[in-house]
């Protein structure tokens, strides 16, 4: 049985930061719904391993692009190379991100700059480069990965919170500028998921206990639970959804 509103056959998705964690899970999920996938990351070996894993699962249309999403010129060249050498990008998932934890009064300036480049500048660079092609075709889907920290703050991660708040508002701005050209630009805001980026927190009995009490669902999320939101926002089912941030967080943003 097929569900045309959620069928991604014939579409191509570029997923940044997709050699592991949330990015790889979303790439796999879109592939399972028929999309061709272009994986992106800076670690060539890990990227190649992710591509091999997807192909071994039976997903044949898997390509890789190892450009640096924090370098505007590298992004432009990389996106143009995909468009010219692989094919049109119909779906972009801006997933690349990083984290660093420290008290705000001691937060290193170089880590601040790294967070800005990786978490927000990359969304602007890749979004702009891809949108330039999408605008000419009159269609396209862009999904930015935000966070519960787009709404909430927690000690030790104020700069990360600032970048994810910016992702939410950049998503709105992209909608305001590009919806008129037939593009849908939305964001997914994950709660606390078991990923390599969160491994230190997952391994902390104290933090996990706090999180389970704080989250109405009472547990960590699994990355596969983000796939449904990504497929929906990538498919025809969301054709009039624009500038929206969809929280997938076990209810943590709804309850004190």
Q: Could you give phi then psi for residue 246, rounded to 5 degrees?
A: -100, 115
The C-alpha atoms of residue 27 and residue 151 are separated, in whole angstroms, by 26
The C-alpha atoms of residue 164 and residue 161 are separated, in whole angstroms, by 5
Whole-angstrom CA distances from 204 to 16, 107, 135, 207, 210 are: 28, 22, 46, 5, 10
Q: Residue 143: how many CA atoms within 13 Å on its side-chain side?
A: 33
Among 125, 160, 232, 247, the one annotated catalytic: 160
Select from 35, 29, 62, 81 the least CA-distant residue to 227.
Answer: 29
The C-alpha atoms of residue 175 and residue 145 are separated, in whole angstroms, by 15
**Residue 125 annotated among the catalytic residues of the structure:** no
Q: Could you give phi then psi for residue 244, rounded to 5 degrees?
A: -100, 145
The C-alpha atoms of residue 163 and residue 12 are separated, in whole angstroms, by 28
SS3 at position 13: strand
- Residues marked active site are found at 160
């Amino acid at each position: 049985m097929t569900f045309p509103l959620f069928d991604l056959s014939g579409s191509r998705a570029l997923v940044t930061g997709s050699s592991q964690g949330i990015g790889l899970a979303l790439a796999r999920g879109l592939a399972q719904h028929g999309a061709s996938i272009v994986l992106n990351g800076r670690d060539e070996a890990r990227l190649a391993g992710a591509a091999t894993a997807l192909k071994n699962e039976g997903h044949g249309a898997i390509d890789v692009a190892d450009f640096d999403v924090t370098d505007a010129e590298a992004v432009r060249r990389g996106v143009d190379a995909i468009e010219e050498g692989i094919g049109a990008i119909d779906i972009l998932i801006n997933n690349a991100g990083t984290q660093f934890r420290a008290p705000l009064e001691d937060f290193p300036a170089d880590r601040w700059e790294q967070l800005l480049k990786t978490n927000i500048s990359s969304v602007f660079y890749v979004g702009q480069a891809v949108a330039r092609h999408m605008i000419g075709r009159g269609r396209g889907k862009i999904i930015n990965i935000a966070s519960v920290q787009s709404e909430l703050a927690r000690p030790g991660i104020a700069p990360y919170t600032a970048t994810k708040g910016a992702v939410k508002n950049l998503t709105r701005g992209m909608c305001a500028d590009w919806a008129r050209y037939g593009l849908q630009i939305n964001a997914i805001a994950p709660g606390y998921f078991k990923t390599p980026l969160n491994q230190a927190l997952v391994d902390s009995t104290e933090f996990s206990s706090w999180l389970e009490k704080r989250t109405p669902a009472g547990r960590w999320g699994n990355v596969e639970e983000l796939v449904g939101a990504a497929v929906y926002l990538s498919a025809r089912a969301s054709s009039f959804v624009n500038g929206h941030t969809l929280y997938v967080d076990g209810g943590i943003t709804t309850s004190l």
